[in-house]
A and B are shown apart, each in its own frame.
Chain A
Amino acid sequence: MKYMLLAYTSKADWDEVDTSSPEFLAMCEFYERLTTELTASGELVSTEGLADPALTRTVRKGEDAPVVSDGPYAESKEVLASFSILDCANHDRVLEIAARIVDAVGDTIEVRPIPDGAPG
């Protein structure tokens, strides 16, 4: 069963990140280990870190044609930092993984099931 995990960082943490700090390096190492582990188990489908929110573009329907604008911006208190798609045996397993991430890294994780066609 596939799930999408969306990892949110507080804006303050995102803005103030110090990529040379031991905390940041520890976080990188954690993600590296986890990625290796989930690749070996076959549960990792895809994972990516995202660029700074300032580079976001939003495309919406306009009156005559699609409209591209900058944003959304910095009013939001949380930044979508990364996403991953995991293929797990069940709901409990994916929550277990998400809890490990939250524990180690402090992000908030949204877990969305990806329907696999079968209704039940």
Chain B
Amino acid sequence: MSATDTRLEDLLRELAPQVLGALVRRYGHFDVAEDAVQEALLAAATQWSESGAPSEPRSWLIKVASRKMIDLLRSEQSRRQREETFVRRTPDDQLQIGSAEENCAEESRAEEDDSLLLLFLCCHPALSATSQVALTLRAVGGLTTPEIAGALLVPEATLGQRISRAKQQIKRSGVGFRSPPESERGDRVAVVLRVLYLIFNEGYTSSAGDNLVRLDLSAEAIRLARLLRGLVPDDGEVAGLLALMLLTDARRPARVGPGGRLVPLAEQDRTLWDSPAIAEGTALVTEAMSGAPLGPYQLQAAIAAVHAEAERDEDTDWKQILGLYELLRRLDDSPMVELNRAVAAAMVHGPEAGLALLERLDDDPRINRSHRLEAVRAHLLERSGDAAGAVACYRAAALRTANRAEQRYLDDRAALLAATGSPGGADL
């Protein structure tokens, strides 16, 4: 794609949520408006690449999308025998009747907030996580259905239906295009963060398939996280998530070796890490950590930052990392956190300490069938000198993962250990 094409695409993606927000704010009909905006974006992509973008691209898109919306509404209406009805229940005590000044002030904030309101809408708790992801990528990310389907490794028709159903759900549940009440706002932002993190992880690793990394979705998640940070600049967890994404993604160039082989953190060529991303992420997390209270994303970002500041693997400040995992554990009881804490404990107190923590996870049904538990156990057994035990665990782990790059890594590790009979180098 030429540089002009890329710039055009960037412009359209940036404008997409603003245009959709403008339409939904004025007319409602989120589902129809979203389709209309998609059509307008397609029209723009075709026409502007030939004759250049107009001087007011946003107005152009709003105008064209409005017309298409009217066309869609008319054709829908002519198909229907009766009017469709849906019920919106707003109890009297929740109706907001502001003063004229308040309403005017709200109008002028409108344009900035539209993207944020869209995010809240697409990430509404009434939707399933998969719906939230698909809808966010489409309505806020401005990606087309084929693009999203390709990135999520889902057939296009399936994704199209998923998005349609999500929009119908929004319509049926009467979810509005308005700010959540102050009391709910923290929770709603947390859901948005979770959706963005899901998107990022979809891009960062595939759980199945040949390649370890799908690039586009991680970049998209970072872009949306930046957008969110611009909209809610004072939120420490939002900053924390962006920092976490930047610091994690910075390692991407070193994560996959020749032949799509997985390169663990300890073995990565750190000169390949993206230093500007690390600098930005580190600065962000430092700033984010100065506020209270600390949330899980800030802590995870801090951990990533400690890893990133070590020039060589052996310089890693594991004590600090262990301390951060202790803190994280209080906020997040996920077994993955515990798994990572076991690794850190092993680095600080020796492999037996880590193995002891892993034993507790054997009873946790959320992780005791996961390849990761066996893989970490294998590493620690290797470090503790139990080569036979390690080989068995590597092989068990390889059987449990569907990702071919990971399989290869684990099998190679087992084979090396079995052949040499002696423990390999540093792990993970």
Residues of chain A touching chain B, judged by Cβ–Cβ distance below 8 Å, are 51-52, 54-55, 57-58, 62, 64-74
Contacts and interface: CB of A to CB of B under 8 A. Distances in A.
B85 A54 contact: no
Interface of B: 27-29, 69-70, 73-74, 77-78, 83-89
19 contacts: A51-B27, A52-B70, A54-B70, A54-B73, A55-B27, A55-B29, A55-B69, A57-B28, A62-B85, A64-B87, A66-B88, A67-B85, A68-B86, A68-B88, A69-B84, A69-B86, A70-B77, A73-B77, A74-B74
A52 B26 CA distance: 13
Contacts of B89: 64-65
B63 to A, nearest CB: 11
**What 10 A-B pairs come out closest when comparing CB atoms?**
A54-B73, A69-B85, A69-B83, A52-B70, A54-B74, A71-B83, A54-B70, A65-B89, A67-B85, A73-B77
B83 A70 contact: yes
Contacts, number: 45
A73 B88 CA distance: 21
A64 B90 CA distance: 12
A67 B87 contact: yes
B153 to A, nearest CB: 37
Contact of B77 (A57, A67, A71): A71
A71 to B, nearest CB: 5
A64 B69 CA distance: 31
B345 to A, nearest CB: 56
B369 to A, nearest CB: 47
B276 to A, nearest CB: 47
A63 to B, nearest CB: 9
B87 A65 contact: yes
Contacts of B77: 54, 70-71, 73-74
Nearest to A51: B27
A65 B88 contact: yes
Contacts of B28: 57
